[in-house]
Amino acid sequence: MPEKFKRMNMEWAEKIGPNTYEVINRIFLKTKIEEQAYNPTLAVLRLGGSYSNERLENACGIALRSFITPRHKHIRDILASKQDLAEKQLKNKTIDGVESHDASLDENKGHLRGSDYFKNIGQNSNKNGGKD
């Protein structure tokens, strides 16, 4: 492999964006032998062709917040599960600089009961003889 391979990958990553550049840089820093980083960095950079450079950049940003040294698998999984799109959509849902709340994102947080529910608990238990 040519010695300029690292520089070529770093330049390619820089064209995509700062998050992608940082991921590629961390992969190179993590390996003891530079040549061991060639295939992993190429695998990450090629994800831009499979998805898009914009999505790759967003996914790298998510991966950097979650992992010290993001790997191809981490970024691929973020792209495959469309976490990058969900985050972008959430960022776009702002009104006058205030983030709006999307209840559909709270699916796994259980059911919320309003104050009316709790007002009627005592009344319902009296009607049923204390049995609900």
DSSP the chain: --TTHHHHHHHHHHHH-HHHHHHHHHHHHH-SSGGGGHHHHHHHHHHHHHS-HHHHHHHHHHHHHH-SS--HHHHHHHHHTTHHHHHHHHHH-EETTEEPP-GGGGGGG-----HHHHHTHHHHHHHTTT--
Model confidence, pTM: 0.66
Tokens of 41: 């960095």
Where does the pLDDT of residue 90 fall: very low under 50, low under 70, confident under 90, or very high at 90 and above?
confident
What is the distance, to the nearest Å, from the Cα of residue 117 to the centroid of all Cα atoms in its chain?
36
Q: Where are the domains of the chain?
A: 5-95
Place of tokens 């702002």: 94
Where does the pLDDT of residue 96 fall: very low under 50, low under 70, confident under 90, or very high at 90 and above?
very low
The percentage of residues in the chain with a pLDDT greater than 90, rounded to a whole number, is 58
Residues 60, 19 contacting (CB under 8 angstroms): yes
What is the distance, to the nearest Å, from the Cα of residue 62 to the centroid of all Cα atoms in its chain?
4
Q: pLDDT tens across 50-88, in order? A: 999 999 999 999 999 999 999 999 999 999 999 888 887
CA atoms within 13 A on the CB side of 114: 1
Q: pLDDT tens across 21-43, in order? A: 999 999 999 999 999 999 999 99
